[in-house]
Amino acid sequence: MNRLMERYLRLDALPTLFCPGCGNGIVQNAAITAIDNLGIRKDIACVSGIGCSSWIPCYYNMDVMHTTHGRALAFAQGLKLSCPDKKVLVFTGDGDCLAIGGNHMLHACKRNIDMAVIMVNNHIYGMTGGQKSPATPKGVRTKTSPWGAYDEPMEGAELAISMGATYVARWTTAHPVQLEKSIRAGIEHKGFSFIEVISQCPIQSGKGVYGDKDPSFILNYLKKNSYVYKEGMEEPRGKIKCGILKHDNDKTEYIERMQTQLQQYREGKTAKEKKGGAKNK
């Protein structure tokens, strides 16, 4: 077995419940590589919701919280605020984050609270058997869209940018090296980091979204039909936009803002009291 993963996984919990060729396993490896490179195993906790991708951290021999559907971000914010000096890594999926968890995602982005979120996007509700998710492309047939999905899909990374997340990246499972680097940068970044990973679900969405159930075919497809965004480039249409889509180090993070504001208030209050005291004399 892979030496690095052997050190980090709960071996008695294996095999994972992921299907053969599932993209979640690739994300699992990339996240561990990032955590190991940073050397923060004791100072990071993982929080996840419900869904196949939310099972990723359950196999880690680390502090893990496997919470309720869509609410991972709410739990994570509570955890972060109680231990502001420690790191939190959230695993969620396209259904967990954009559907039921949409509200929490909007507010967490807006707060720019310091945590890293990995949203594994397989365009489907995989765990429950292949129903349409908010990220299912238009026209794709799923168990709950038998005549093809009616809606345009939601784009998690763009939503995160518009709501104020300060490190936003999108990669596919066909870009494991860049993905690992982004996860590392996202954890290190002081602010809300949102990393969307387009991942293959060969069993549930393989046929509908990509045309084939073979994981290698899908990986090949993802590699060929994505491009790495660079500012100022002419963007090809119909391809997956990958890359670091936003990296803003200037915007202040939530806890920092909170502490600064409190400090300012207290100083202002003391100054007022001193002034008042001087007057009374």
Check residue 65 for interaction with another protein (CB under 8 A). Answer: yes
Check residue 279 for interaction with another protein (CB under 8 A). Answer: no
# of chain residues touching another protein (CB under 8 A): 67
* Residue nearer to another protein on the CB measure, 45 or 116: 45
What's the start-to-end Cα distance of the chain, in Å?
78
Which residue among 74, 115, 140, 244 contacts another protein (CB under 8 A)? Answer: 74
Which residue among 31, 115, 117, 219 contacts another protein (CB under 8 A)? Answer: 219
Q: For residues 165 and 175, what is the distance between their CA atoms, to the nearest angstrom?
A: 22
Q: Three-state SS string across 33-99, please? A: HHHHHHCCHHHEEEEECCCCHHHHHHHECCEEEECCCCCHHHHHHHHHHHCCCCEEEEEEEHHHHHH
Strands 131-132, 124-125: parallel, antiparallel or unpaired by DSSP? antiparallel
Check residue 260 for interaction with another protein (CB under 8 A). Answer: no
Check residue 47 for interaction with another protein (CB under 8 A). Answer: yes
Q: For residues 213 and 203, what is the distance between their CA atoms, to the nearest angstrom?
A: 6
Q: For residues 79 and 71, what is the distance between their CA atoms, to the nearest angstrom?
A: 13
Which residue among 51, 52, 53, 71 contacts another protein (CB under 8 A)? Answer: 71
* Residue nearer to another protein on the CB measure, 113 or 149: 113
Q: Which residues of 2-38 are buried (b: 16+ CB within 10 A; e: fewer)?
A: eeebeebbeeeeeebebbebbbbbbbbbbbbbbbbee
* Region of 40-48, 117-125, 141-149, 157-165 interacting with another protein (CB under 8 A): 40-48
**Residue keyed to tokens 């007057």:** 279
- One-letter amino acid for residue 242 of the chain: C
Q: For residues 76 and 225, what is the distance between their CA atoms, to the nearest angstrom?
A: 34
Q: How far is the CB of 61 from another protein (least distance, A)?
A: 5
Check residue 249 for interaction with another protein (CB under 8 A). Answer: no
Check residue 20 for interaction with another protein (CB under 8 A). Answer: yes
Which residues from 130-159 bind another protein, rule CB under 8 A? none
* Residue nearer to another protein on the CB measure, 22 or 244: 22
Check residue 195 for interaction with another protein (CB under 8 A). Answer: no
* Region of 91-99, 104-112, 140-148, 163-171 interacting with another protein (CB under 8 A): 104-112
Q: For residues 229 and 232, what is the distance between their CA atoms, to the nearest angstrom?
A: 9
* Residue nearer to another protein on the CB measure, 100 or 185: 100
The 223-242 site mask, x for binding another protein (CB under 8 A), equals: --------------------
**Residue keyed to tokens 């180090």:** 249
Check residue 216 for interaction with another protein (CB under 8 A). Answer: yes
Tell me: cis bond preceding 84? Omega within 30 of 0 counts: no
Q: Would you tell me which residues interact with another protein (CB under 8 A)?
A: 1-6, 9-10, 12-16, 18-26, 28-30, 33, 42-43, 45, 47, 50, 58, 61-68, 71, 74-84, 86, 103-104, 106-107, 173, 176-177, 180, 202, 215-216, 219-220, 262
